[in-house]
Structure 1
C-alpha cells in the first residue's frame, strides 16, 4: 500500500492527550476520518488554539506521528466520557513550530494572505515534500 502523508487539525490540548496516550484521532473522533489512514502513514497535528474554538492562540504544528495499528478502534476517554475512533500511533520528540514562517514553502497554501483556509478541514492529505518541510523544522 502506498504511504500517504496527512495533517490533522486539532485543539492543542487534544494533541497533548493523543501523544500521551499514543493514539491519533481526527475530525472530533469520527470513524470516517481515521479510516483514511493506514499503518505506516505519517501525520502532523496542527493546532489553531489550545481548546476547541477557544483558548490561547497557538497556530503551530504541535505533534509528529506515525500510525502503528492496522485498524481503527473505539476508545472511551475516562476524564470526559467521550468515545472516539482512534488508531494507535508512535510520536517523535519534536518542538512545536509556528505555521506562519513556513507558509511560502508549503504547496497546499495557495494564497498566504488567506492561509487559514487550508486548515478549515479536520484532516487532509498533503504531498510528501510538504510533510518533509514541516517535519524537518519540527525535529530537534
Structure 2
C-alpha cells in the first residue's frame, strides 16, 4: 500500500457503498476519485448517520482497499441535489468487515487529528491519510 485516503460521507451512504464494493464522493463528481490508485487504503469518515442530519456521529465507519485502476460511471441515474439526475462516478473498493469507531476514541493515536483545526480539511470530501493512520484504523475497526 502506497497511500491511504479518508473519504467523507454519511454513515448510511458509506454502508450502502461498502455493501456494493464501490465508493462515490463529492456528490458523484469524478475529480477526487482520480487521485486514488489500485492498492491504496480507503476509510470512510461519517460526520452524521444520515445526510443532512444535525446530530453528529463523527466516526470512521468503513474500511477497504481500492480495487480498480480508473473511475467508472454508474449505470443508474441518481438524484444528487435539486436539478436533473446524474450518473455518478465511482471507484471499486474491496471492503472488509469493520465496526464504526468514534474519532474521539482515537485521540492522540492519529497523525490526522494532531493539528488544531484538522476537521477543516474534511470539507474537500477526500483527505490523504498516513500509512500509520490507516494501520491504526485497520487495527481498531477490523471485526
TM over 0.5: yes
Unpaired runs of 5+ residues, structure 1, are: none
Provide the TM-score with structure 2 as the length reference.
Answer: 0.85
Give the C-alpha shift of residue 76 in structure 1. 4.3
- 2:109 aligned to 101, 105, 112, which one? 105
Q: Secondary structure at the match of 1:120?
A: helix
Instruction: State whether residues 109 and 118 of structure 1, in contact with CA within 8 Å, keep that contact through their aligned partners in structure 2.
Output: no
Partner of 2:94: 90
Partner of 1:74: 73
Give the C-alpha shift of residue 125 in structure 1. 0.7
- Tell me the C-alpha RMSD between the 2 structures: 2.0
Instruction: State whether residues 76 and 82 of structure 1, in contact with CA within 8 Å, keep that contact through their aligned partners in structure 2.
Output: no
* Gap change, CA 1:39 and 1:55, over 3 Å in 2: same
Give the C-alpha shift of residue 82 in structure 1. 4.0
> 1:2-22, CA deviations, whole angstroms, 9 ceiling, x for partnerless residues?
721100011111101111211
- 2:129 aligned to 116, 126, 130, which one? 126
C-alpha distance in structure 2 between counterparts of 1:53 and 1:82, whole Å = 20
Count residues with an aligned counterpart. Answer: 138
C-alpha distance in structure 1 between counterparts of 2:121 and 2:104, whole Å = 12
